[in-house]
Amino acid sequence: MRRLLILFLFCTQLVQAQQFVIDSLKKEIDSHPAEDINHFARLTEYSYLMRTVDMNVAMDYIQKAYALADQLNLDAQRTTALYNIGDLYFMQAEHQKAYEYLQKALQITLRYSDKPWLHRRQVIQNLLAGVFSQSNPPLAFKYLRESIATLRLQNDNVAICDKLSNMASLYVELHQADSATYYFEAAIRCVKQEKDQSNLPLMEMAYGRFLLDINEVTQSIPKLEAASGAFERSNKLVELKSSLFSLAKAYLKIDKLQAAKSTIDKTKTIRVAFPDEELNYAQFYVDWFERIHQPDSALVYLKRLSQLERATFEKDRKNALEEQEVRFRTKEKEAENRQLEQNLAKSKLQNIILYIGLGFLFIIFLLTSYFWNRLRKANQQIKAAANKTAQVVASKRLMTNLMAHDLRAPLQVIQINASMLKIRQPDNAEASYIELAAQRIHQMALRIVEVQNEEQIDIEKRLTQVPVFAAIAHVAEQFELLAASKKVRIQVEGHDQQHLAIAEPALLENILGNLVSNAIKYSPPDGKISIRIEKMLEKVQIVIEDEGPGMEIPKEIAGDNLELSDQASEAGWGIGLKLTKRYLEMMGGQLVLQTNNAIGASFVVELMRAN
């Protein structure tokens, strides 16, 4: 508490001292209006101090300084004033005006070649690169290269290394990997030549992270290890922790699990505050537990990661609203200050000024009401967008899990046929089955890509009239070898029944394939699987019966809860039946299970019959 009090008193005194300097300078400017170089210096210094108080006042006084330098025909002072005007416009995000004044200053510096003018030229080129770093990157690169050329004229190699690093960072933002790699390596070589051990670890860490981002993991690890070692030797704990997080991520990408775990454990021993520390840990452990095949633990950290990302989003939103409110209050304060100056300058017209002041207050009230309503509407839109985003993410995860699980059945067919091809001649019919299974995998992969791109799957637009018996025969043909390998016979009934059902063809084959695959799995040797078609008034039923040991009706089929469990395995019915039920519901159908514990299971797929 005592330290906080001392810090508060120090800050208070600092603000008072700054205000005292500003007031003193104002008095000197008013009392010494002589138009000479000393008056130019006072105007420039007062403008610089007023930047944090009132940007408009700062601009007025630096414009006066520029006019004085122009009147005195002093190029050095004229360049200084133009640079400050451009810097003020850059701070106000008026980039075109900033460019115009900075370009004028640059043209003046090109007339001279001595060291002070070279320094002025290089400073202006740096600011021009900053002005165009976001709006026009090629122009920013042009001025950075010119700045490096100017630094070479000054033999300032340390600053050249820093500019090379800046160019590498700009190329990273533009996703130009080759150019970024070239400038990173050039910057590191430059630092090593200058023996600048303070900047070398930072550049190696930045380069290592860039290589990690473009999946050059094996090249990134030595850079990150060298940076971590240097930070540890120099006791730079924040930088050390940051580099260790990146190093652990790199180890994890190349499956060096033990090294990744020991590296992340080392970060926990570093007692120093680090931004987004929990987020980094959560992301690491999600990837870690996925690689060691512990989905339960990965799900725990995935939920934690989702909470942290949501909290970060809310924090950023709150900060954006606060910044907007601060900008509004700053404008309001500036308006009040201008009003006060007008009142003081026109003291003889107090009555008129009174009405003007009331008018200004009314305008401010209207502006306040207008911006407050805008803020409230923006807040509502942000909340609605956040809710919509959460729904899209939930739907995306569900559909991705469904499609990923559905790949198992065709993979089994591929594996069986591949085994048969090893012991038979390559021109046998097994190749066609592999091709069919590969086509199914390709179709399902396309669906997964659609989900990953957050495109909603509109099954209703894909529904068509499907020949039921043809779909059944196609599925039976695909699983013929799998059934034969287990000595199970598949019998399809209803060759003469040409029924049409409303369904999505590929999705219907996936459903039937899932049910037939499970029936084969649980059928005894020399068993039989029967598939037949039954017609109803408005529906078509596909009945799949096996002679397995039977089963209890799972809650996933009996109830309405379709949440997928990460603990489900290939040996269980849970995910497969959930997928089947989910698919049928999407097509307007349903799944019925008729079974007991003695005589096997009978699955009934009901679909809407086509007219």
DSSP letter for each residue of 38-85: HHHHHHHHHHHHGGGT-HHHHHHHHHHHHHHHHHHT-HHHHHHHHHHH
Taking the alpha carbons at both ends of the chain, their separation in whole angstroms is: 83
166-181 mean pLDDT: 81
Which residue matches tokens 């040996």? 571
pLDDT band, very low/low/confident/very high, at 34 (cuts 50, 70, 90): low
| Sign of the torsion angle spanned by Cα atoms 433, 435, 437, 440 | negative
Strands 528-535 and 500-503: unpaired
pLDDT score of 596: 60
Higher pLDDT: 344 or 304? It is 304
Q: How far apart are CA 336 and CA 331, in angstroms?
A: 9
Query: How far are the Cα atoms of 63, 398, 401, 463, 586 from residue 457, in angstroms, in the given order?
Result: 61, 12, 14, 12, 10
Tell me the pLDDT of the chain averaged across its residues: 78
Domain ranges within the chain, ordered by starting residue: 26-269, 275-391, 458-608
Q: How far apart are CA 201 and CA 226, in angstroms?
A: 7
Please, are residues 600 and 545 in contact by the beta-carbon 8 Å criterion? yes
pLDDT score of 292: 83
Q: Is the pLDDT of residue 569 over 70?
A: no
31-42 mean pLDDT: 77
Q: What is the pLDDT of residues 201-231, one digit of tens each?
A: 888 888 888 888 888 888 888 988 888 888 8
Q: Is the pLDDT of residue 164 over 60?
A: yes
pLDDT score of 318: 82
pLDDT score of 442: 59
Q: Return the minimum-mean-pLDDT range out of 76-80, 281-285, 522-526.
A: 281-285
158-169 mean pLDDT: 80
Q: Return the minimum-mean-pLDDT range out of 3-17, 208-222, 570-584.
A: 3-17
Q: Is the pLDDT of residue 10 over 60?
A: no
| Sign of the torsion angle spanned by Cα atoms 105, 106, 112, 116 | positive
Q: Is the pLDDT of residue 451 over 50?
A: no
Q: Return the minimum-mean-pLDDT range out of 48-52, 213-217, 289-293, 593-597.
A: 593-597
- Quickly count: other Cβ atoms within 10 Å of residue 5's Cβ: 9
User: Any idea what the Cα angle at residue 63 is, between residues 20 and 77, rounded to 5°?
Assistant: 90
Q: Is the pLDDT of residue 558 over 50?
A: no
- 287-293: Cβ within 8 A, 24+ apart: 287/249, 287/252, 288/252, 288/257, 288/260, 288/261, 288/264, 291/252, 291/255, 291/257, 292/257
26-269 has CATH 1.20.272.10 classification: no
Q: Looking at the domain that runs over 458-608, which CATH code has it been given?
A: 3.30.565.10
pLDDT score of 605: 92
Task: State both tokens at 402.
Answer: 């469904």
Q: What is the pLDDT of residues 41-50, one digit of tens each?
A: 888 888 888 8
| Sign of the torsion angle spanned by Cα atoms 604, 605, 606, 610 | negative
Q: How far apart are CA 203 and CA 188, in angstroms?
A: 7
Q: What is the pLDDT of residues 297-340, one digit of tens each?
A: 888 888 888 888 888 878 878 887 877 777 677 677 767 777 78
Q: Is the pLDDT of residue 432 over 70?
A: no
pLDDT band, very low/low/confident/very high, at 82 (cuts 50, 70, 90): very high
Q: How far apart are CA 502 and CA 461, in angstroms?
A: 12
Query: Which secondary structure element, helix H or strand E, spans residue 467, and what is its range?
Result: strand 464-467
Q: How far apart are CA 400 and CA 451, in angstroms?
A: 6
Q: What is the pLDDT of residues 534-548, one digit of tens each?
A: 877 888 899 999 888
Q: Percent of the chain having pLDDT more than 90?
A: 3
Task: State both tokens at 72.
Answer: 């005195």
pLDDT score of 551: 65
435-458 mean pLDDT: 55
Which residue matches tokens 């942000």? 382
Higher pLDDT: 220 or 497? It is 220
Q: Give the CA count within 13 Å in the CB-facing half-sphere of 552.
A: 4
Higher pLDDT: 334 or 108? It is 108
Q: Give the CA count within 13 Å in the CB-facing half-sphere of 584.
A: 26
| Sign of the torsion angle spanned by Cα atoms 172, 175, 180, 184 | positive
Higher pLDDT: 457 or 290? It is 290
pLDDT score of 410: 67
pLDDT score of 142: 84
Q: How far apart are CA 471 and CA 465, in angstroms?
A: 11
pLDDT band, very low/low/confident/very high, at 556 (cuts 50, 70, 90): very low
DSSP code, position 428? S
Q: How far apart are CA 129 and CA 157, in angstroms?
A: 19
pLDDT band, very low/low/confident/very high, at 33 (cuts 50, 70, 90): low
Task: State both tokens at 477.
Answer: 């043909």
DSSP code, position 206? H
* β-bridge partners, 374: none
Q: Is the pLDDT of residue 437 over 70?
A: no
Query: Which secondary structure element, helix H or strand E, spans residue 601, and what is its range?
Result: strand 601-608
